[in-house]
Amino acid sequence: MKIATFNVNSVKARLPRIQEWLPEAKPDVVLLQETKSVDENFPAMEFEALGYEIAVHGQKTYNGVAILSKRPIEDVAKGLPGDKKDDQARYIEATIGGVRVASIYLPNGNPVDTEKFTYKLAWMDRLQKHVRDTLLPTEMPVVLGGDFNVCPTDDDVYDPEGFANDALCRPESRTRFRAMVNLGLTEAFRALHSETDAYSYWDYQRGRWPRDEGLRIDHLLLSPQAADRLSACEIDRSPRGKEKASDHTPVWCELEE
C-alpha cells in the first residue's frame, strides 16, 4: 500500500497539477492538507474519475484536510478530539485496508509571541493524547501523515540560525514532536534516510526553490504495526518544479501487504 501526504495549498488552484501527479505516482492513499475548500465545493468528480474515493473535512478559505483512496474508506472521524471549541478543519482519520490513516494539518504557530503559538502547542498536546490513548491501543497499523509544521532537527532546515526562533523550530515544538515519536512511532523518512538537505517545502519568496533552501515539515509517522511493514519512503520533488505548483511537495511511503 502506497500512502502519500501532500499539502496542496488550495485544491482548486492546484487541481491540474494533482491530476497530473496521481497517474504518475500511483498512490493508493493520499492525505491532503490545506485544501481551502468547503466540503460541497471539493472537486470530488475529478478525483472519482481517477478512481479515488474521498473523505473531506473542509472550511472556507483556510485549512482543510482530505483523504483520497483507491480502496474503500471506512469509519471516518473528523476533527481532533480534546477541544469542542476548536472548529478549524485540521484533522481527519479513517480506516483503509485495515490501516488507520490520518491527514494532519498542524498549526503553524507564528508569530511565537501570540496566541497562535499557544494554540499550536495545545494542539500538539491533544494530538499526542489521541495517539497515546486512542490510536495506539487499537494495535492496528496507524499512519499519521501531513504537514506537521515542525522541523524535527537542524538537519531539516536550510538555515538553522535564521529559523531558531521560528515556531517550526522552537524547542517547545520539537520537544512535543519528539515526545509523540517516543510513544512508539517511527518517522518513516528518517528511518530509511540519514541525508541532510532533504526538504518538502520551499517558500515562494526569494527564490528558495531554485536555491534548494527548504524545510522538511511534511512527515509520515507509523505505529509499530505499520513500521514493521515499511519498505520505502521518499520525497517526490517533481511536482514542486512545475508551473503553479504548491509550495510543498509529496512525501510517500510503502507498506508491504
Grid coordinates given for 15: 487541481
> Which one is catalytic: 147, 156, 166, 218?
147
Give, in order, the Cα–Cα distances in Å from 44 to each of 21, 23, 76, 81: 16, 16, 17, 26
Residue 87 among the catalytic residues? no
Catalytic one of 105, 158, 199, 201 = 105
147 an active-site residue?
Answer: yes
Distance CA 57, CA 38 (A): 8
Residue 138 β-bridge partners: none
Q: Please give the positions annotated as active site.
A: 105, 147
